[in-house]
A and B are shown apart, each in its own frame.
Chain A
Amino acid sequence: MKALCWHGKKDVRVEQVAEPQMLSRRDAIVRVTSTAICGSDLHLYNGLIPTMEKGDVLGHEFMGEVVEVGPDVGNLKVGDRVVVPFPIACGACGACKAELFSLCENSNPNAAIAEKMWGHSPAGLFGYSHMLGGYAGGQAEYVRVPFADVGPLKIPAGLADEQVLFLSDIFPTGYMGAEMCNIRRGDVVAVWGAGPVGQFAIASAKMLGAERIIAIDRFSYRLEMARTHAGATDVIHYETEDVASTLKELTGGRGPDACIDAVGMEAHGHGVGYAYDRVKQAMMLQTDRPTALREAIMSCRNGGVVSVVGVYGGVIDKFPMGAVVNRGLTIRAGQCHVHRYLRPLLARIEAGDIDPSFVITHRMALDDAPEGYDTFMHKEDACMKVVLKAA
């Protein structure tokens, strides 16, 4: 079959690889119909995530048709159309029982590596390094889905792939980012990063009742989408406006009640601080550039919430802990526990509250995936979201 394989920094190739086979009784094999490139795939593309191997199949946002089911998967049958969550979860461990699915204690066969890096191991993920499991991803014609009795969501007929594909990651991720803000009536929420996750964080903050939502980015087309489609009431172009003072002005000097970091480890910025972070990251003295996170912390109102859904991998520098402690901020974070949002968010889509396909700007064949990575990486052609058609 064809699959998109990682070969190094800015080097991904569509190659012929073996078709996946059953490896466990709780597996299913899915023929991928639609798959997408995620912003976090760009961290892999840029070589910033350790423990990648040449030839790894990428992709953690995918959906398709079940073509084989293991004997212990009672809830699926061949022919079912499913969306698959990007974290792999067993459904039986302490974390899964607490609905913390991205922290599944059994799905990462390489947990020892993650333990060295982070103290404890989170769940295994599709197509996202060996320290997170060494699982082949879904930017391929077929994919093996472990614990298929727990993860995949059956999609009713009548909904197009593009309406439901993003249930695999970015819609629930953005939603969880907003949910962690504990939004109450009258709240102002600021969102750093108006990429796809930021768009869904904005749309979700609106659904959860935020009164004003401020989008922050450096691309006008992204801010435009945030305003016209996602529901941002205000936008800040950080290359032409000072974020901190503009946020104060927009909030009567208080600062936003909640700040969402939908940027992560490869933040852009300007000035001395940004140059410092670039140098330190290049020298491996810090692995992540926390420009957006620092700004979110400094901007948040006293006693507010900083919600982090952008991906960080390692250690950061100049973390303003004094602001966090002395101003009583709450920091919440996490890889999305996708499984617990699948049904409620599918219901939102069915009810017409949201059509997640609004973020799609590029549709390509799987064969053209390397071009898709390049376009997305350079934000060319007003690129917001690339969907690949595998079939």
Chain B
Amino acid sequence: MKQADYLKMGVAMALGATALATRSKSRSVSAVSGFAGAVLLGFTAVEVARASGRRRIAAARTEVARTITIQRSADDLYAFWRDLGNLPRVFTHLESVTALDEVRSRWKSKGPAGTTAEWIAEIIEDVPGASMAWRSMPGSDIEHEGRVQFLPAPGDRGTEVHVRLGWAPPAGSVGVAIAKLLHAEPSQQIGSDLRRLKQILETGGVTRSDASIHRGMHAARPSDDVARIDWRVQ
């Protein structure tokens, strides 16, 4: 990701104390190893323990919570999210999510070097127009949970989307490899994912610039290799 590259370059550092102050807030989250964006899910550790006694809480557990306000109704947002096949448009590290029945779904996540992680998730909370939660079934490569809530924003500001994701790789699994490769900045990754959700629901598609359509650094100039982008599909 272009912006991740910049952040690693420490661009923010150049502007000194203000930037550092804002960074420190996310440290406590990203200091915990792991990468929630790859797998997307959440509940706090306490809630996980409460929800399921069978579940072992791995030391490398990652928890992320992010919120964004979107100028759409809670019903619209719920409907988009409940159609799970939409989620890979929002969360870039998901390859596909396929509903198997009303409760269960098959998730595929992109891993390092072209590998994928795959698991079955079940919906454990479903309140139309208000909230949804899900978690991986026992025996998955990756333990994960997620919860999204849609709350009316004050005034005519639309709807607040509150997302909490949690993830823990059982030792030795492909999840650990993903965690090592995609380590760091899960909060920022989810932040970018939620901005994409907002772009899709408010503007009809993901916002693209001359630089952002490329993986890695690219000058802000047109290039001939955009043919792979089907601009009619957003």
Give residues in A with beta carbon < 8 Å to B: 3, 5, 17-27, 50-51, 53-57, 70-72, 90, 92-94, 97, 105-113, 115-117, 119, 124, 127, 130-131, 133-137, 144, 146-147, 284-285, 287, 313-315
Q: Are A23 and B202 in contact (CB under 8 A)?
A: no
Please name the residue on chain A nearest to B69 by beta carbon: A94
Q: Chain B 212-226 against A: per-residue CB contact (8 Å), 1 yes, 0 no?
A: 110001111111101
Q: Are B220 and A134 in contact (CB under 8 A)?
A: yes
Q: Are A287 and B231 in contact (CB under 8 A)?
A: no
A72 to chain B, nearest CB (A): 7
Known: A51-B6, A315-B17. A116 touches B22 (CB 8 A): yes
Please name the residue on chain B nearest to A105 by beta carbon: B198
Give residues in B with beta carbon < 8 Å to A: 2-3, 6-7, 11-12, 14-19, 22-23, 69, 71, 157-158, 188, 191-192, 195, 198-199, 202-205, 207-213, 217-224, 226-227, 229, 231-232, 234
CB contacts (< 8 Å) of A70 on chain B: these are 231
A-B contact pairs, 30 of them (CB 8 A): A18-B222, A19-B222, A21-B222, A21-B226, A23-B213, A24-B234, A25-B205, A26-B205, A51-B6, A57-B210, A70-B231, A90-B199, A93-B71, A105-B202, A107-B207, A108-B207, A109-B3, A117-B15, A117-B18, A119-B22, A124-B209, A133-B209, A133-B212, A134-B212, A136-B220, A136-B222, A287-B14, A287-B15, A287-B16, A314-B15
Q: Are A25 and B220 in contact (CB under 8 A)?
A: no
Q: How far is the CA of A154 from the CA of B65 in the complex (A)?
A: 44
Known: A51-B11, A54-B219. A110 touches B2 (CB 8 A): yes
B157, B207, B226: which has the most chain A beta carbons within 10 Å? Answer: B207
Known: A90-B203, A116-B23. A136 touches B210 (CB 8 A): yes
Q: How far is the CA of A368 from the CA of B107 in the complex (A)?
A: 55
B143 to chain A, nearest CB (A): 27
Q: How far is the CA of A17 from the CA of B219 in the complex (A)?
A: 11
Q: Are A72 and B219 in contact (CB under 8 A)?
A: no
Q: Are B3 and A53 in contact (CB under 8 A)?
A: no
Q: How far is the CA of A25 from the CA of B219 in the complex (A)?
A: 23
Q: How far is the CA of A284 from the CA of B7 in the complex (A)?
A: 18
Please name the residue on chain A nearest to B224 by beta carbon: A18
B73 to chain A, nearest CB (A): 14
Please name the residue on chain B nearest to A111 by beta carbon: B195
Known: A109-B207, A112-B191. A24 touches B15 (CB 8 A): no
A284 partner, pick from B11, B14, B212, beta carbons under 8 A = B14
